Structure 1
Amino acid sequence: MSLISVDQTITIAMSVTDRHASAKWYQNMLGFELLYHADEAGWSEMQTNTAGVVIGFGEHTKPAPGNCVPVFGIADLDAGRQSLEQAGVKFDGDTEVVEGMVKTATFYDPDGNALMLAQDLTGGAG
């Protein structure tokens, strides 16, 4: 039995220098569909061709090469984080909240790979 229950969505978060250009590239090269650009948050999302899996682009002036963080949807991030922390899982700083959009927390597996939990605050699914 697992400590927490993630939902059936996965966001693959990547940092890029230009979210709009990246969205066009992924649309033209891989046939992904733009879901939205949240310019105020520096974030864009594309629906992949796999149900429940999206790619999110965070805009950074100098993105780390080869970066990729799987982001797992969860209904109650605070409770999930507490359960993982009690089991000794290390988190990177505080939980971040973009009001009306999303709540996120980055944590690490035993090899130091970054993973993230995200709770949808929009009132929609996923």
Structure 2
Amino acid sequence: MSLISLEETITIALSVKDRHASAEWYGSMLGFETIYHADEVGWSELQTKMIGVTIGLGEHTEPVPGNCVPVFGIADLDVARQKMEQAEVKFDGETDVVEGMVKTATFYDPDGNAMMLAQDLTGAAE
């Protein structure tokens, strides 16, 4: 049994220079459909051909190739984070909240690989 209970979703977050151009590329090359562009926070999401799997594009002036962060959906991030911290899992700073959109927290596996938990705040998952 696991310490926390993840939802059946994963977003693979990538750093890109131009989210709109990247979204077009993923659409034409792989058939992914743009779900939305959140220009105010520099984020776009694309639906892959797999149920529950999306690609997230975070805009950065100097993206680092190979910088891929799996983002696992979770119903209650605060409870999950508390349990993981009690188990001595290292988190990167405070939980980030974009009101009405998402709550996220980055954590590390024992080898220092970054991963993230994300709680949907849009109400769409209810």
TM-score > 0.5 by shorter chain = yes
Matched pairs, number: 126
1:99: how far off? 0.5
The alignment's TM-score, normalised by the length of structure 2, stands at 0.98
Which runs of at least 4 in structure 1 moved beyond 6 Å after TM superposition? none
SS in 1 for 2:26: helix
Q: RMSD of the TM alignment (CA)?
A: 0.9
For residues 50-65 of structure 1, what are the structure 2 equivalents within 5 Å?
50-65=50-65
Corresponding position of 1:66: 66
Q: In 2, distance between residues paired with 1:91 and 1:59?
A: 22
Corresponding position of 1:7: 7
Q: In 2, distance between residues paired with 1:113 and 1:81?
A: 17
1:84: how far off? 0.3
The alignment's TM-score, normalised by the length of structure 1, stands at 0.98
1:73: how far off? 0.3
Q: In 2, distance between residues paired with 1:17 and 1:52?
A: 25
Q: In 1, distance between residues paired with 2:64 and 2:80?
A: 28
Is there any run of 5+ residues in structure 2 with no aligned partner, and where?
none
Q: In 1, distance between residues paired with 2:8 and 2:29?
A: 26
Identity level (%):
77
For residues 1-126 of structure 1, what are the structure 2 equivalents within 5 Å?
1-125=1-125
Is there any run of 5+ residues in structure 1 with no aligned partner, and where?
none
SS in 2 for 1:35: strand
